[in-house]
Each structure stands twice: as C-alpha cells, then as structure tokens.
Structure 1
C-alpha cells in the first residue's frame, strides 16, 4: 500500500489528501445567523413589552398541571415555597436574561399551581354519593325562569336524615308547576337528587367538576307540592345575593314582556344575562348564524355601559364652568365609569366572560387616571391573571378560552380594524365619509373573521360544531346590534328606575326581532351548522400554542406558529372515532352499524346519545336513531359491529348464559357472573371504577378509553368503593317535560360565549 507523501516511481511526490472537516466545525457558522436573529427578535419583544404576557401563559400552565397531574390535594405551601425560591434567585440572574425569563416563568407556573390547589381547598363541600329521594328544606339563592317552570339553586338546610358532613351545601333542581317563588324564599319539598353527572364520554364535558366549584353537590328535580316557609336569618351576603337575583328576574320579566315573544327573551338576556326564556330553536338559529356571542354579557356590553356613564358624567361636569376649569373631569368620569361598569357586571351575573371584559375595561379606564395608553396585550395578560387567580377552573372551560382567544387575536390584528385604514390626508368631506364607511365595513368583517379563526379550535373541541356563515351573520347583525339594540339596552336601564322604560323595551324588541329574522334566514342555508368529529386534547394544545405564538409576539417569532398549527390541524382532521359508547350507568350504549353510523342500544338518555353522535361527527337528533338497528326483548338488546361481532346489553340475569357465550362485548348495569369470561365485560363494577366507556374495534380486540382516565379520585368525583351504579328511574311528572339535564342526570355545557 502506498503511503501518503511517498515518492512515486518517476520520483515525483504524491499529493497529500486532506481529510474533510467534521460537520461540527461548520455548526457555529451555520447557527450564528440564527442565534443573532433570535437575539434581535427577543430584544424587540422586550422593547415592545411582549414578554410579560408569557407569564400569564406560564401561570395557566401551572393550573393545567394541577388539574392534569396532581394526585389528590397537594400540600399548599409546596408550590408557594418553590415560587418563592425562584423569585429569590432572580436578583442574581440580571446578567443572564434568558435564564431570568425562564426562572420567572417557572415561578408563575408554581403560583398557578398553588392558585388551583387553594381554590379546590376553599370550595370543598360534600357531594351526594347516590341517588336520593328525600324531603328537602333550604333557602333559594338563585332562580332562573324558563319557558316552563324554573331552575333553582337551593342552599340546603336539611335533606332527609343525612348528616351535615355528607349533606350537599347547595343543590340545583328544576320544577314545572309550583307556587310563585323568588330568591330569598325558604322552601320545603320532596326532591329526587343524584350526584352531579360526570362526562358522558371520554374527553367530554364534566359537569361534576364545574358543579363542585359552584358548591353544588347534587342535581335533580322537585316532586310533589312545594311549601314556602318563613325565611330564616340568613347571612348578609346570602341575602344580598338573593336580592340581586330577584332584581335581575324582575327586570328580565319586564324586558321579556315589553319586547314580546322570543325577541323579548333575547333582549332580556342581552341586559341581565338570564337566558332561560330563550327557546331551543332560537338558540340554534343564533348559533347557526354565528352570533350567539351577542347574547353573552361580554366586551360589547361592558364597553357600552362604561362609555355611557363616562360620557354622561363628563358632559354634566363640563356644563359647570367651575368644575370644567378646576377639576380633572376626565378622570372623575373615568372613576364613575369604573363604578358603574362594576355594578353592571355584578348585576349581570359575574360570569368569567363578563369578568374578563370588566377587568379589561377597568384597566382601560385606569389608564386614563395615570395618563397611560390602555389597550394592549399586557392589559389582556393582567386580565388573565385576575380571572385565573379568582377562578382557576375557568381555564378548562370554553368561555375563558374563547373570550381570551378572540381578544388576543383582535389586539394582534388591530391594524385590520383601525378606523384610519382608508383615511387619506387632504381628503375632502366626501372622501372622509367614504373612508369612514369603508373602515366600518372592513372593521366589522375583519373583527368577525379574526374572532372566528381565533375561537374555532376551542368551539370545535367543546361543541363539535362550525358555523361557515358566521361571517355573513355578524356582518349583517352587528351594525344593528351596535346602532339600535345596545343603545336601547343602556337607555332602558337608565329609564327603568323611573318606570319610563316600557317604550324602550318595545323598540329594543323590534330591533332584536330583525336580528332574529336574519339569524333564521342564515340558519336555513344548507350546512349552516356543521358537526365535526371530536378531536383530542393533543390537537387542541397544538392549536392553542399556535394561537399564542401568532398573537403574543410582534417580531418574526410569529412564524413559529406555523408548525404547531399545521400539526394540530392534521391531528384534528384525523380524529380517532370509537365504535362503541357505554353510558356510566350501563343502561344504554351506541354501537357502530353496518352503514358506518352509530345506532342506539338499550335506553341511553337523549342528551347522552346526542353527545355521542356529535362526538362522531353525526348531526342527527337522538329520536332519529333511538329505534334503529338493535334487536331487543325484555332481557336485553343485541347489535352487531360492521365486522359481525356482537355487542350485547343485558338487563336481566337470565340473559347472561346465552350472551356470555356469543357476544364479543357484554354491557350490563348488573354484576356479571365470574363464569362470563369470554367477552369483554363492562358491568357494574367496571363502570363504578371507570365511568363512561368507549371502545375502538380492532382485528385483535378492543381498545378502551374511560371518562375516569386516572385511577385517582378528584374531590368532585365519587370514589369507586362509594359509587352505586343502577339503572335510571323512570322520569316523574315533575321532570318529564323539562328536557334539561336534571331529568336525565346529565348536564350540557354552557352555551357558546
């Protein structure tokens, strides 16, 4: 072998072959532009004060960590001490900004974890362990009137012979026929109560969790006569809350009667937040048109209320020369507007969407007091901190997610809705008018488009629906709402104490009727309300991360949103559908038939069946599938999967021998015998441990998913050893026609905000 550098036969020296440099030698050169660009982008983010909102994101991540991973109730000082340690290190990290930012984010995460832990501890109250029919006495804290009857929240004084340590603090009940009741009344009646229902499917809405944070330990209905007793000496806070709710109900009735029909019901909801009088068909039309957010007390209402108070106070003070010349009337008007909008938020029910709008409005008005600019992403982050510190569980719900997502998108795209978009210097009067009109139209369309894109992932995840014509609905109705409906609402509230509000509510009803006519017209379009299959939390997390990356940065870092957006959309477009759904009581199921669609098996409630259908991307009503496909007799029901395997539902023990021998899946609210070892058995014991169950069929068996995905039992969930699973009792006369969750033991999520 010839060596490098040796002489050849002719005496020449062979050239030396150098080894190629390793790739690591070029990495600094390749990465240097990326590092420098990242440093410039981060410097711009810091200059524009866009790093602070990420602390709110870290605070929310700590809340999510608590709800996703905390096993039981953690020791509260632990996350507080961890946050304090992180904050104590920050003075030593001033020369290392990246590590400083990460340390502050970690501290915010620990504080979010602590906030969630403290909230769970503070609202702890007993939850009913099993279905109970017993005498109930208590004080009505809140009353929501409905088309028939009402729904009550009762603070319990006694429930049968239950001891105080196991008696629910509050119960939510419905009734159809009863003497006139109002908040603050003490009543006695017989009640049929059951534990707050858990999710109807794996990954579905968990009403039991939301009820726990409201102090509601049972839901149900009142049966038989209701007796109104002398009210006890309740605490002042309860009396004030009951009085406020009574005032809201009185104004709701007055507006509904003045506006007339469904227009009056929607007008009342716009003012007081009471939506019980709105018919399901009207709700469906508003959702199909993409304008149900108008019914929710949120930013539009808060800004108008604050603006009217601000303008009135400032105008009145400006009429007095001494005040106008010597007093800071702008700041005085801002203080008055802050007080007025806070009172309006309390009167409208103080839900999390209204709270977010209140905080944003207060920050905007507070900026007037300190002569600072108001509307910014930093202020939205402050609003998020306040809302989540007060109600950390709100982060898990659609109201918070959609509200903050929409506002973040609108702030990030503020240039699109800027009134000066079409303005030109030196334009004449006609040109300015034309520019104003174009800006108004473009602003409405851009606002609607941005809000729809920002809220679509959350709306689709929670409700499995999309409204393709929402842009049209908002473009046609928002001018009517802004120019007629909401000004009438503000004027009517101001005239109400003088009993001069009747004509105003009539006029508002006519404006709302026009809004409803547009909604019904759009709802008549083909596929105005598209039902899509449910996707998992992984896709939602990616889409939420994409929204954050697209809205919070101001530099080129926004481009990083493309990767999680693409991956999230890919996961959402390929959802993993289930072939068998089983309700948590074992009294009903849904099985995929030969046509590829779900068919009912047994007697699942209409609400539960529709939840399964929507999760499957099926927009049919429960009545359309209740009798399809299954073969039933007195002992049970049988259906077959597309591959021919049988799914059996056993109601009577006499069916066990036959169905255990032939079925691939056996479902029963009873305890299956030990000899039933052939099929996959989902019986009383399995349901008590896992809750609602879903199965995906494969060639080698079934893959199961459970509503109780974790073996740990959070405070709002009954433990398996305490659970009593049995078929639902037939509905009584008092709750049969309600159509609400109490009748079936289920609860629907809050309406779209």
Structure 2
C-alpha cells in the first residue's frame, strides 16, 4: 500500500511531466459540464468555478514550495476553468430556431456547396448548399430577422444552376430540425448542430433561383476561401470524375462528401479511413515537402547559405505553407491540432531551442479546449490526440532501443530497415491507441490495419501528396492535368489495396456499443500510460484493457423504440427484429445495428398468423387483434402493437394485456391496458425520445431525455426550438 507521502515522492520525481496533465484536467472539467444532469445557471456555471479557481490559486501562492498544496491546487484550477469555459461556450451560441414543418420559401446567401453521391437509381452527384442569413417567407415568420444559424439544403437532382459561395438564392424547401438520437446514449446530432451553428437541414422541392443584385457579405476572408475551395473541387471533378477523383479532392481541398459509400466502407474495413481525413499525416507530408524544397533552394544560393539561418527560414516557410493547406482543406480539428503543434516546433527552431513534442501536444490541446471545449466529445479530437500521444510516448521509449538494435547495419541497408521498422512501429502505435476510440464511435475493429498502412502510407507520402502539391501550384496556369492524372494513378492503387484488404475474412469485426465511461477509462488510462515516465505508468494498462472490453460487459436492451415511436426493434441472439415504419427508418436501423452489433431484419409490419422467431419468444398475429405481437423473455410478457389503423381509438381487449408486464404501441394507447405497469406509446416517445427496454430483472425503461437531461442543446419534445419572432413595430 502506498501512503500519501510515498505518492508525493513519486510526483516529485515526475515534476517536469505534471504540466502535461493540464489539458487532461481541462477536458475533465469540460466533460463534467457536458454530463451535468441538468442545465446549470450562472451560479454553478460561472460563479462557482471562479470561486474554486480563486481558492486553489490562493493555496498555490500561500504555499508555493509545497507540492502537497500546488498539486491539488493546480488540479482544482484546471477543472474549474474547464467547467466554466464549457458553460460559456454553450451559452454564447445563438438559440435553435423553430423551423416550419411544411414547404417554405427560403432566401439566403450560399456559404458552401458540397457534392455527394446520388442514390443508385439516379446516379451521378447531388449538391447540398449551406445557407447563411436565411429568411423564411411564410405567414408565421413574416418580418423576422435572418436566422443566426445556417441551413443545409439538398438540391433536386436535376438542378443544374451554377452556384458559387456568396450568391443570393431563393428556394422552396422542406426543413427539419436536427434529429434526436436513435437510441439512448446514441450519437447526439443536436449537440453537434448546437456548437457548429446549424439550425437544421432540408431538401428542395424545386430548382433553386439565383437572386440578382448585390448581396450583403458577412463572410469576408471565409467567402474567398470557400470560393477557392469550390473552384479547386470543380477542377478536380472535371479532370478526374469518379471515385478516385473524389479521393483526390478529399486530400487536396478537404471535401469528402463525394466519396462513394462503398469506398468509405473499404477504407474503414482496411484501417485506411485516416487517409480520407486531412490530419497530421497529410500536413506533415505537405510541410516536410515544403521545407525540403526551400532548404534545397537556399542551399544553392551561396549568399543565403553562408549568411541566413536556412533551417529556421525553411521551417517558417513550411509553417506558412502548412497553414495555407489547413485553410484550403476546411480547418478540420485534426489539422488544427497538427498545425498548432508544428507552430511550437517552428518557434523552437527559430529561437534556437529544442522543441518538445509532448509539451507541444499539451499546449495545442490546451488551446483547443480553451477555444472550443466541446471538442472533448468529438471523435476527430479523441482519435487525433490518442494517436499522437501514443506516437510521442512510444518513440520516447522505443526509438533509442531501435537505433541500438540497428547499430550493426550500415549504409543503404540500415536506412531501409530503419524506415521499414519505423513505419511498422508508427502504424502499430497509432492504430492500437485509436482502436478503442474506433470501437466506441463506429462499432468496428480492423485487425489488418498495419498491413494496409505499410503500403498506403508510403504511397501517400512519396507519390500522391507531392504530385498533389505540384498540381495545386500548376492549377492557376491550367497545367495541372498531367500531375492530377499521375496522382490519380497512386490513388487507384490505394483504392485497390483497400478493396482487397476489406475483402479478407475477418477484416471488419463488429462490436456492441461501448458505454461512455468505458471510453473515458480507455482515454484516462492511455494518458496515465503515456504521460508518466516511471514504472507506475504501467498502472494505466489494466484501466485501458478494462475500458476496451466494456462492450461485452454491458447488458444489451431487449427492445428499442425509435424517437418518433413508430419503429421498434426486438433483439434476439443473432438478429435485431425491426417492426413498424418511420420517417428516418434507414438511419435508425443503421444506428441500432451498430449499437447491438447485430444484423437487422424486417419482421412483418402487420400481424400475420404464424409469424414467429425460431425460438418462439416473439409471436405475431395469433391473437384476435390484428397488428399485435407478444414477446416472452426472462419470465416477462410484453405486448407489441406494431400496426393500428384506428390511431389508438380501438382499445386493446383486456385479455390481450391480462398477463403483460409492459405494452408498447406505435399508436396512442389511450384507454388500452390501463392496468399494465409499463405503457409506452407514441406520446411517450414524443416526450422522452428514443426508449430502451430491459427485461432481465423486471421491466426497466431508459429514455433519451433521461440520459441527456434538460440542456440548452436538447430540443423541446417534438423537436421544437425557439420561435422566430418578427421585429417590433416602430412607433
């Protein structure tokens, strides 16, 4: 057993690593706010963190030489700051507006244009525009101010009107707010929309009209960048149509919407999905190529080679080029983290100091959490940080041993072996560290990621990205065609590799949903394992392993109910039986299949005599009431009303519900089954969102609203937001 004094001795031995825990504490503070059971007011959100931070700072100043005071004081300050910054970030967002539930004329300014594959029967590409300063033209919203949030509108397939960012447009569209999670604890698109500034999405009912005349510009430099990205994307699609051209556009301008779903699945199953997300790999290649070219040019200039700090100048030029690439590709989170870390390295080179990678990562994470604390729940942030922290810590330990092991080799042989081993080591470290994060967010494991990356990463570094940079430089001169075609050749090899590896047996292993505390245990254990240097760092390994196996330790729900109450799924040993129909049926089924790691099969939507599962636990159509099923499991009987043409006005007979412990209905239950302890119907889903029913120890129901609570980003029942009120009449 360790006593407090021995623990303090351990911390004193790691005192230079304590600063690395600042972003971890900030993230925990922000996470405490986001997981708070209800929305805290000013007192809890601002005043309490300020008081705690002040008291902890006071303790640090009163006992500046006592680690026993400075350590908890610093932890308290970081936690309080993280909580307060998260509260401020959530409350400075504009409210979610109430959107009309019918076709409405919408005018606004095009902020962005995205292309994505059309359905199989239509073929080609479809467009989705992002509208800013949107105004809704109907009798309810007459005289309203422009929306402070953006709208994503999918255009009709036959719409060929030329559009550019900054154009004013008018379109008739059907709008809908961000959807509720498909199951309790599922992906929260309302949270994502709240912090991304989106009000909702929709689809156009007719071709868009471009409004003439000057349009108000509120974007400035962002509009210029969006226009540039659109032109680069259009040029690439013109030269390279098809799936490979979409991948080329992804790595050069960050637009991944046009990549076909089949290609995405191949990349995901082969462990190459990171190639479709502009991150540290792409930015490192771009900055490395820029620094190499600049260094060679300066070396050929005698005056500069003798008088200038060529290494520092080349690093600065690479930093500027990397920043331009980040802007061109849409300023995604992993690219932001990589560019911030490179800024630390460049600054260290310019002032003649040694750049510490782990401290650079900590500083980059701290800045990102202070500016946008909501990234703590973002999959890109979690994967990026997990991969980099594992790489830095792994190379701190293994790189010296690798060099000693290769000391017996010399010349080209040593270089080839060293680069090969470093490539394998990089893939192992990054892939293993991000594996639990992939399991938690995507429900899959890719066991062959190392083999695929051994070929794909060198191709990306030595062939695809260098030719892509040359193509971008040659694009203003219309001389980019040959370089794009050469780049396309390398991309086709990667596509073939991803397809082959994805076709291997066991290339994609599905896993059940990981609980949030399991993912938190993995990330905290990984931080403990990588941030310390002493032997006690290995205490984090059991925590990581425990978090990784939590998907198989959790009890799976027996019944799932969609957010609108119109779809229900019954889980058995090998299949998820889905009954009913819903508007977002495809999305809900995909989320349920991922969460349960089971294939989805449709069960008869209406009660058909004799319809039952192989084990006889689910039987439909045997009673005297059509459209009902009976589930018998764990000694509990559940009545499922999967179809009702009377909208609940025809009451269920008493004998149907006599032995039932619960009844679930797609229609209002009204006067049906009043004596049943648990009654779930359309109104229950309207109030509480998606439902999960557990039958192992009695009937236990968990709803989405119970999991998320009453928060500023959670829409009111039915998906209602803040009414958009018109301007007051002038007196």
Structures share fold, TM-score greater than 0.5: yes
- Structure 1 unaligned blocks of 5 or more: 1-29, 725-753
Contact 2:577 2:603 in 1 (8 A): no
- Alignment counterpart, residue 61 of structure 1, candidates 16, 28, 31: 28
> Cα gap change, 1:290/1:710 in structure 2, threshold over 3 Å: closer, same or farther?
closer
Map residues 35-434 of structure 1 onto 2, 5 A cutoff. 35-36=5-6, 38-46=7-15, 49-69=16-36, 71-72=38-39, 74-75=41-42, 77-78=46-47, 79-128=49-98, 131-147=101-117, 148-159=125-136, 160=138, 161-162=140-141, 164=144, 167=147, 169-175=149-155, 176-178=157-159, 179-230=161-212, 232-236=214-218, 238-415=219-396, 418=399, 421-422=402-403, 431-434=410-413
Secondary structure of 2:642's partner? strand
> Cα gap change, 1:390/1:353 in structure 2, threshold over 3 Å: closer, same or farther?
same
Q: CA offset at residue 151 of structure 1?
A: 1.6
Contact 1:140 1:184 in 2 (8 A): yes
Secondary structure of 2:370's partner? helix
- Aligned residue in 2 for 1:612: 592
- Alignment counterpart, residue 706 of structure 1, candidates 679, 703, 706: 703
When the two structures are superposed, what TM-score results if normalisation uses the length of structure 1? 0.85
> Cα gap change, 1:64/1:505 in structure 2, threshold over 3 Å: closer, same or farther?
same
User: 2:525 aligned with 1:546, yes or no?
Assistant: yes
Distance 1:697 1:202 in 2: 16
Contact 1:289 1:467 in 2 (8 A): yes
Contact 2:640 2:665 in 1 (8 A): no
What's the C-alpha RMSD, in Å, of the aligned pairs?
2.8
Contact 1:637 1:648 in 2 (8 A): yes
- Structure 2 unaligned blocks of 5 or more: 118-124, 613-618, 722-731
User: 2:422 aligned with 1:443, yes or no?
Assistant: yes
* CA offsets 1:428-478 (integer angstroms, 9 cap, x no match): 7xx332222222222121111111221111111111111111121112221
> Cα gap change, 1:230/1:636 in structure 2, threshold over 3 Å: closer, same or farther?
farther
Of the structure 1 ranges 365-374 and 505-514, higher mean CA displacement relative to structure 2 is found in 365-374
Map residues 469-488 of structure 1 onto 2, 5 A cutoff. 469-488=448-467
Secondary structure of 1:698's partner? coil
> Cα gap change, 1:220/1:419 in structure 2, threshold over 3 Å: closer, same or farther?
farther
Q: CA offset at residue 669 of structure 1?
A: 5.3
- Aligned residue in 2 for 1:4: none
* CA offsets 1:78-101 (integer angstroms, 9 cap, x no match): 223432342233121223213201
Distance 2:324 2:226 in 1: 13
Distance 1:529 1:482 in 2: 26
- Aligned residue in 1 for 2:729: none
> Cα gap change, 1:352/1:113 in structure 2, threshold over 3 Å: closer, same or farther?
same
Of the structure 1 ranges 64-73 and 322-331, higher mean CA displacement relative to structure 2 is found in 322-331
- Aligned residue in 1 for 2:577: 599
> Cα gap change, 1:386/1:360 in structure 2, threshold over 3 Å: closer, same or farther?
same
Contact 2:283 2:322 in 1 (8 A): yes
Q: CA offset at residue 249 of structure 1?
A: 2.2
Name the larger-Rg structure.
1
Count matched residues. Answer: 684
- Aligned residue in 2 for 1:641: 631
Distance 1:559 1:291 in 2: 29
* CA offsets 1:126-158 (integer angstroms, 9 cap, x no match): 333663421111111111112321122111431
> Cα gap change, 1:545/1:661 in structure 2, threshold over 3 Å: closer, same or farther?
farther
User: 2:428 aligned with 1:458, yes or no?
Assistant: no
- Aligned residue in 1 for 2:686: 688
Distance 1:456 1:624 in 2: 34
Of the structure 1 ranges 538-547 and 264-273, higher mean CA displacement relative to structure 2 is found in 538-547
Map residues 643-682 of structure 1 onto 2, 5 A cutoff. 643=633, 645-651=638-644, 652-653=646-647, 656-658=650-652, 662=656, 664=660, 665-668=662-665, 670-674=667-671, 676-679=673-676, 680-682=678-680
Q: CA offset at residue 71 of structure 1?
A: 3.1
Distance 2:365 2:336 in 1: 10
Q: CA offset at residue 187 of structure 1?
A: 1.0
Q: CA offset at residue 590 of structure 1?
A: 0.8
> Cα gap change, 1:321/1:152 in structure 2, threshold over 3 Å: closer, same or farther?
same
> Cα gap change, 1:489/1:420 in structure 2, threshold over 3 Å: closer, same or farther?
farther
Distance 2:189 2:587 in 1: 13
Secondary structure of 2:389's partner? helix
Distance 1:258 1:420 in 2: 48
> Cα gap change, 1:213/1:164 in structure 2, threshold over 3 Å: closer, same or farther?
farther
Distance 1:111 1:636 in 2: 59
Map residues 699-738 of structure 1 onto 2, 5 A cutoff. 700=698, 702-710=699-707, 712-720=709-717, 723=720
Distance 1:599 1:232 in 2: 55
Contact 2:30 2:373 in 1 (8 A): yes
Contact 2:173 2:204 in 1 (8 A): yes
* CA offsets 1:612-664 (integer angstroms, 9 cap, x no match): 1121111x36679999968589x984334353643223543356412775254
Distance 1:513 1:191 in 2: 38
